Structure 1
Amino acid sequence: MEQKTSLLGMTIAELRTVAAEVGLPAYAASQMADWLYKKRVSEVAEMTNIALRKREVLAAGYTVGAREPAEAARSKDGTVKYLFEAAAGRFVEAVYIPAEERDTLCVSSQVGCRMACHFCMTGRQGLGANLTAGEIMNQILRLPEATQLTNLVFMGMGEPLDNVDEVLKALEILTSSYGVGWSPRRITVSTVGVAAPLRRFLAESECHLAVSLHSPFAEERARLMPAERACPVEEVVALLKEYDFAHRRRVSFEYILFDGVNDTMRHVKALAALLRGLPCRVNLIRFHAIPGVALRSCSAEKMIWFRDALNARGVVCTIRTSRGEDIQAACGMLSTKRLLEKRH
C-alpha cells in the first residue's frame, strides 16, 4: 500500500504545489493552511470549504499527518511530559510547563542527538533521525493544552540547528499569518553553536536564541560538551558580536551549574570577560541527575552566589526554576526508558 504524504508541516508554497497537483485553484492552499494550522483538523475530510470531489482526490494521496501523544507523565508541580511516536518505534518528548504568567512548551527537533553532551540522556541515544517540520508542528498542535500556550522553546531532544532546514520551515509556519501567526518573540531556539546553520538562523528568523555554554574554558567545556571542539564557544560569541540584537531578538546563554566543576569565582570572571560587549543574559540551571553520571547539582545557596557575582560584573543573570524532576523531565530520560523497554 502506497504511503500517503503528510500535509502537516508544509509551507504555503508547498501547499500551492499540492493544490495544483490535485486540480485545485491556487487559493485552496490558503484554505488548507487555515484547516491545518488554525482549525487544526485531523482529517482531509474535515476541510469542508473544499469541494467534496476534490477532497476525495486530495485524500487519495495526502493525509493531515496528525498524531496524538502516545503517553503522558504528570508532575506534582503541573509539568507534563508527553511522548510522541516517531520513526522506527522511537519516541520524542515535548514538555508542557505551566506558570502564573506563561505556559511554555519545550519541543524536540530530532530523534536522539549526535552532540553527546556528558550530562544529557538524549545524547546517549545517538542520532536516530531528524524530525520533519510536520513532526515538530505535531508536538505543538496536538498538545492537549495547545490553546493555552504562550511560549515555545526548542530545547527538547536534539540539536535544532543540526536539523536547520526543517526547524526553519517550522518557524516559518509558526510565525506566518497563513500559519499559527505567533510573534517570533514568543519562540526561543537553543543551540550548542553550530556556526553555518547559526548564521542561517540569524539571517532567516527573528526568534530568540539560547546558546548552551556551561563553561567559559574550552577544555572544560569540551569534557562536558564534545561539540566544543567543532563549535568553540569563543568563536560562537565572536560570531554573535557581529550582529546588532538591540531590537530584533534576545540572546541568552544556558549554564548548568555542576558542583565543584564550573561554579567558582574563576568561572565568574572568565564568563564576564567572554560576554563583555554582547547584549545578553545568562540563565543558571540546576542539574537533573541522570544514571551513570557522577556530576552533581550545586546547592541553592551556591547558585544564588554565582548569580549575584555575575550581576555584580555587569552580566544579567537569572536562575531558572527547576520543574518536573519527579516525572523524569530532564531531556531524554523518559524516551530513553521507553526505548530500552522496547528493546527488551
Structure 2
Amino acid sequence: MALRSVFDGGALRAELESAGISPNFVPLIWKYVLQVPGCDLGNVPSLPSAAYPILRSKFRPFTSSLSAAIDSKDHLTTKLLITLQNGNSVEAVIMRYDTRLGKYNGKPRPGGPRSTLCVSSQVGCKMGCKFCATGTMGFKNNLSTGEIVEQLVYASRFTNIRNVVFMGMGEPLNNYAALVEAIHIMTGFPFQISPKRITVSTVGIIHAINKLPGDLPNVNLAVSLHAPDQDVRCHIMPAARAFPIGKLMDALQTYQKNTQQKIFIEYIMLDGVNDLELHAHQLGKLLETFHVVVNLIPFNPIGSSSSFKTSSEQSVTRFQKVLRGVYNIRTTIRQEMGQDISGACGQLVVNLSEQRSTGGATLLTDIEDLHI
C-alpha cells in the first residue's frame, strides 16, 4: 500500500485520533517537516510515543518530488515540475511582483516584492477547453490533499509565497474535497496564508459553486467564462453544455449575495471568435448587475494544431473600452509572464510519456491589485 503524505491532513488526524492522540499535534508535525525537509518522521520532537510508529509506518514527509525548476529570462517566473508517487507529473508556477513598480489611480503603491503560486489540482483535465493545452492530455487523476499542499511547500523553498491561485492543471471544483482540505491547511498553522489571498478558478461547476460560501468563506472565486453566450461558450468549452450560462449566472448571483465578494471573470481573447464589439456588449449586459472584475487574457499558442489566433491589441483595447465606458465594469488586460519557459496561461501540459515539462501556467495582473 502506498504511504500517505504527512500533508494529507484528514488521514493524519484520523490515524492519530484512533490511537487516542490529540490532532493538535498535526500542525507541529507540519512545522517540523517545513523546517527540516529531509527529515525522518521518527525524529519529530515532543510527540506522544504512540505517534511515532504511526508516522513511520503510514506516512512520508513528501510523496512527490521536485524534478526540475526552470526560471524565465527575467527571473520573475519559476516553473516547477513535480513528479507524483504514481509516476505522473504536474507543474506549479511561481510569479514574482513588486508593487512599488505599479500605480493605482495614478499614485505609487506601497509595499514591495511578493510572490504568487499557481497550483495544479489534477493531472490533466476533463473539461476539454479547446484553447488550453492541459485539455489535450485528457484526465489522468485527481491530486490528493497532500500533493496539492506539497506544491506550496516546494515553492516556499524559493520565495515567500503570499498568494495562491488554483489556476494550474485541472478543474479545481472537480476535486472538491481535496481542494477544500488543502485550502484549510494553507490558511492554518504553519502556512497561515490569508483566505483573501487565495483564488479558486472554475469553468463554472454550479453545484460546487453553491457549496463554496459555506466551505471556503472569504476565498476568492474566478470564473472562466470566455464567451457571453451559450453557443460560443460550448464551441470553445465543450463542458459548458452541462452548465448553461443562464443557470451559471443565477448561481453566481446567489454566491455574490451570500458572500458580498467581487467575482473575477476570466475571458480569453480569441481572434474573430469572442473578441468582437458585439461580444463586448453582450458580456457587459450579462455582467452589469454583478460586482466583478473582468480579466482579458491574451491567447497563448498551444501548438501548431490549434486553430485559434491571438486577438490584436486593437481588438482587446476596444473590448476593454466597451466594458469600462458603456457598462462601468472594471476590466484589466492580463500581463503575461513566463512565456519563454512555456509558463503562460493555457500552456500548461506535461508530456507524461516522456516525463518532461512542455508547458506552464500563469496568473493575471497581480491578484492583490484587483482587490482594491
TM over 0.5: yes
* CA distance 1:40–1:190, shift in 2 (3 Å): farther
Name the residue aligned to 2:295: 283
- Asked if the contact 1:114–1:123 (Cα under 8 Å) also holds between the matched residues in 2, the reply is yes
Asked if 1:228 is matched to 2:240, the reply is yes
Deviates more, 1:165-174 or 1:49-58: 49-58
* Alpha-carbon offset, residue 340 of structure 1: 4.1
Deviates more, 1:312-321 or 1:74-83: 74-83
* Aligned equivalents of 1:69, 1:22: Cα separation in 2: 33
Name the residue aligned to 2:337: 323
Name the residue aligned to 2:286: 274
- Asked if the contact 1:42–1:65 (Cα under 8 Å) also holds between the matched residues in 2, the reply is no
- Asked if the contact 1:87–1:129 (Cα under 8 Å) also holds between the matched residues in 2, the reply is no
* CA distance 1:215–1:54, shift in 2 (3 Å): closer
Superposed CA RMSD: 2.4
* CA distance 1:309–1:324, shift in 2 (3 Å): same
Please, which of 75, 89, 92 is the counterpart of residue 91 of structure 1? 89
* CA distance 1:24–1:147, shift in 2 (3 Å): farther
Asked if 1:47 is matched to 2:44, the reply is yes
* Matched ranges for 1:152-191 at <5 A: 152-176=164-188, 178-191=189-202
Amino acid at match of 1:318: T
Asked if 1:341 is matched to 2:354, the reply is yes
Q: Deviations over 1:136-159 (max 9, x none)?
A: 000011125555211111000000
- Asked if the contact 2:16–2:22 (Cα under 8 Å) also holds between the matched residues in 1, the reply is yes
Q: Deviations over 1:217-256 (max 9, x none)?
A: 2111111101110012222111111234597533111001
Name the residue aligned to 1:81: 79
* Aligned equivalents of 1:152, 1:332: Cα separation in 2: 17
Deviates more, 1:117-126 or 1:98-107: 98-107
- Number of residue equivalences: 337
Amino acid at match of 1:61: K
* CA distance 1:335–1:192, shift in 2 (3 Å): closer
- Asked if the contact 2:16–2:51 (Cα under 8 Å) also holds between the matched residues in 1, the reply is no
- Asked if the contact 2:16–2:54 (Cα under 8 Å) also holds between the matched residues in 1, the reply is no
Deviates more, 1:241-250 or 1:126-135: 241-250
Please report the TM-score for the alignment, with normalisation by the length of structure 1.
Answer: 0.90
- Asked if the contact 1:81–1:329 (Cα under 8 Å) also holds between the matched residues in 2, the reply is yes
* Alpha-carbon offset, residue 300 of structure 1: 2.3
Q: Deviations over 1:17-37 (max 9, x none)?
A: 32234564554334334435x
* Matched ranges for 1:3-82 at <5 A: 3-11=2-10, 14-22=11-19, 24-25=21-22, 27-36=24-33, 39=35, 41-43=37-39, 44-50=41-47, 54-65=51-62, 67-77=64-74, 78-82=76-80
* CA distance 1:273–1:62, shift in 2 (3 Å): same
Amino acid at match of 2:332: T
Deviates more, 1:126-135 or 1:38-47: 38-47
Please, which of 211, 214, 225 is the counterpart of residue 203 of structure 1? 214
Please, which of 177, 192, 196 is the counterpart of residue 203 of structure 2? 192
- Asked if the contact 1:116–1:126 (Cα under 8 Å) also holds between the matched residues in 2, the reply is yes
Q: Deviations over 1:90-137 (max 9, x none)?
A: 211101111113311110000000100000111111110000110000
Name the residue aligned to 1:133: 145
* Alpha-carbon offset, residue 179 of structure 1: 4.7
* Aligned equivalents of 1:257, 1:40: Cα separation in 2: 45
Q: Deviations over 1:159-187 (max 9, x none)?
A: 000111110111111123x4522211100
Please report the TM-score for the alignment, with normalisation by the length of structure 2.
Answer: 0.83
Give 3-state SS (helix, strand or coil) of 1:219's partner.
helix
Structure 1: state its 5+ residue gaps.
Answer: none
Structure 2: state its 5+ residue gaps.
Answer: 100-113, 357-372
* Aligned equivalents of 1:187, 1:106: Cα separation in 2: 10
Name the residue aligned to 1:123: 135
* CA distance 1:90–1:3, shift in 2 (3 Å): closer
